[in-house]
Amino acid sequence: MVQILVWKNMNQDEQALAQFVQGVLNRKGYKIFIDIDNYKQFLKEEAKEVDLWELIKNTSSEFSGAVCYDLNCNDVGINMAAIISAATDLLGVPRTIIKKINALGIKTVRDLAEIKGSRAERQRVIFNEYKDKLNKTALVHQVVKQGNFHLVLRDFSIANRWVCVYTSESEEDRALRYEILKWLDTNVPVYGWNDDEIAFIKDISTFGDYAVPTDWSSNHSYFGQNIHTVKQNTPRTPIAENKHYVAIVVSDGDNVQWLEREFFTTSTFGQRQKSAADYKINWTFSPSLAELCPDAAEKIYSFGKKDYFISGVSGVGYANCLSYPREHLDEFTKRTAVTMKDSDLQVVCLLDNISLTENADFVEDRLSSYAKYDNIEGGIWELDPDRYGSGKGKIFWACGKPFVSVRFTMWHPSGKSECVTKEWLDGVAKCVNEMPVSPYSEEGYTVLNVHPWTMSMESLDYVVSQFGEHVELVYADELIRMIKKNLGKK
């Protein structure tokens, strides 16, 4: 039976402690779940609510002691404690409640305040001391700073004996980042998030690793016990002939914590379920969700509108395939193909910069690493710097499979949804309507990117309502197949 801790019933110190309790106990075969955000709706097993202190009292023999740290948004002690807890059965405990833990018979064996120095120096001490007892198969990078401090996710690193660390973009912190990335196995996920997306992705890609945005994610030490494949439930309708074919693709689905939390409630997908309109939309979706929280993936797939899912950038995790080390790319795409199959995804979405696509042989070689797999039919390519639209609809080919760049993008230049006007939306619709009916040329096909942070479903519904009769909306796999049939090399 699953034992549930209710997040809102605990104060901040207890919430931090609960992550450590959950991580250690779930590693030992317990089923501890935290009722936070909307995660409870993913539960399928019989469950009962328990009190944190009663749970610790009843399982105190499972902990070999306590490590004390200061719970502070500017203190990396919580990450240091998570490393120790991952390597041992010690329980990380905020200083304010350490005496209460001691009263339950769990003795304090270490105080992290005794380790002096900068954030990088203190984390390095603990990393070097315990790294031989840790797994190199993943890294949790959880930010610790004012304005971006989350207590969640550390249960995942503790349960799996992974390093949990925070590195900023300072020279000192990046030096520590490089040490840890070099120590890790290659082609492993980096869970959590960071300060600077571009710099961070560049750094971890250099070492042949990839990001899985999960900084707000919870309960993965529980959901990881129930991995299984999932199947899409996409309704199919006939495709009209002699039309201009448009695939609407909503970006940012590589963001796992978004998929688990707001995706089907308040975000564009949630708004979609409440909209009276029902037309074909393609949603980017992290194939890693089937491993991290398959019950959430099933929940998303269960909605009955004309929704089709493709792999988020750039497969099993967030990376840039054109700058990924070539010696590691084949392993990355192999993992991508496996997770896409488990997630019932046939089309991969990629993200790169247009400046890297000038050498045709180089691009074809990189894309062939994906295209060589039978279960990957082709791809959609978001190309910067023009808000994913720099490719202007150009189609790239590998192994006879098309990778179609975004032609137009519904991503408001202001980056603010409140700045989107009817006139601007009319401009997007006009661009699409001016495209020709030409199924035997690149001009006959359009990928329209939709940026979920600046576009509401109401805005998208409006744009679609303005499309002319010559425009036919299709799923991404339908677009890929038509292009392959009509434009592929004979």
Contact (Cβ atoms closer than 8 angstroms) between residue 41 and residue 299: yes
| pLDDT(85) > 60 | yes
Contact (Cβ atoms closer than 8 angstroms) between residue 320 and residue 204: no
**Residue 264 confidence (pLDDT):** 85
> Domains of the chain (ranges plus CATH)?
2-223 (no CATH), 244-487 (3.20.20.490)
pLDDT in tens, 104-156: 999 999 999 999 999 999 999 999 999 999 999 999 999 999 888 999 999 99
**Residue 119 confidence (pLDDT):** 96
**Residue 105 confidence (pLDDT):** 96
Average pLDDT over residues 256-272: 92
**Residue 229 confidence (pLDDT):** 86
**Residue 303 confidence (pLDDT):** 87
Phi, psi for residue 59 in degrees, rounded to 5: -120, 15
How many Cβ atoms are within 10 Å of 163's Cβ, its own excluded? 25
Identify the H or E element spanning 320.
Answer: none
**3-state SS assignment for residue 96:** helix
Spatial neighbors of 20 by CB under 8 A, at least 6 apart, are 81, 82, 85, 91, 92, 93, 154, 155, 158
Contact (Cβ atoms closer than 8 angstroms) between residue 251 and residue 452: yes
pLDDT in tens, 192-213: 999 999 899 989 999 999 999 9
Contact (Cβ atoms closer than 8 angstroms) between residue 251 and residue 267: no
Average pLDDT over residues 474-483: 98
Q: Where are the alpha helices (DSSP H) in 343-390?
A: 360-371
Q: What is the C-alpha to C-alpha distance for residues 163 and 276, in angstroms, rounded to an integer? A: 47
Tell me the pLDDT of the chain averaged across its residues: 96
Tokens of 357: 């696509």
DSSP class of residue 364 equals H
Question: Angle at CA 278, nearest 5°, toward 433 and 447?
Answer: 40
**Residue 37 confidence (pLDDT):** 94
Residue 297: Cβ-neighbour burial (10 angstroms; 0-12, 13-18, 19+):
buried
Closest alpha carbon to 149 in 240, 73, 46, 49: 73
In the structure, what pLDDT confidence band is assigned to residue 481 with cuts at 50, 70 and 90? very high
Phi, psi for residue 311 in degrees, rounded to 5: -65, 130
In the structure, what pLDDT confidence band is assigned to residue 304 with cuts at 50, 70 and 90? confident
Residue 161: Cβ-neighbour burial (10 angstroms; 0-12, 13-18, 19+):
buried
pLDDT in tens, 395-447: 999 999 999 999 999 999 999 999 999 999 999 999 999 999 999 999 999 99
First and final CA of the chain: distance in angstroms?
A: 59
**Residue 259 confidence (pLDDT):** 95
Phi, psi for residue 447 in degrees, rounded to 5: -105, 120
Q: What is the C-alpha to C-alpha distance for residues 92 and 126, in angstroms, rounded to an integer? A: 13
In the structure, what pLDDT confidence band is assigned to residue 226 with cuts at 50, 70 and 90? confident
Phi, psi for residue 477 in degrees, rounded to 5: -70, -30
Closest alpha carbon to 58 in 105, 6, 10: 105
Contact (Cβ atoms closer than 8 angstroms) between residue 466 and residue 426: yes
Average pLDDT over residues 224-236: 85
Closest alpha carbon to 254 in 348, 164, 187: 348
> Percentage of the chain with pLDDT > 90?
94
**3-state SS assignment for residue 452:** coil
| pLDDT(175) > 70 | yes
Closest alpha carbon to 79 in 150, 146, 175: 150
Contact (Cβ atoms closer than 8 angstroms) between residue 377 and residue 348: no
| pLDDT(490) > 60 | no
Which of 33-42, 52-61, 225-234 has the lowest average pLDDT?
225-234
Closest alpha carbon to 178 in 229, 124, 226, 222: 124
Closest alpha carbon to 309 in 334, 289, 328, 326: 289
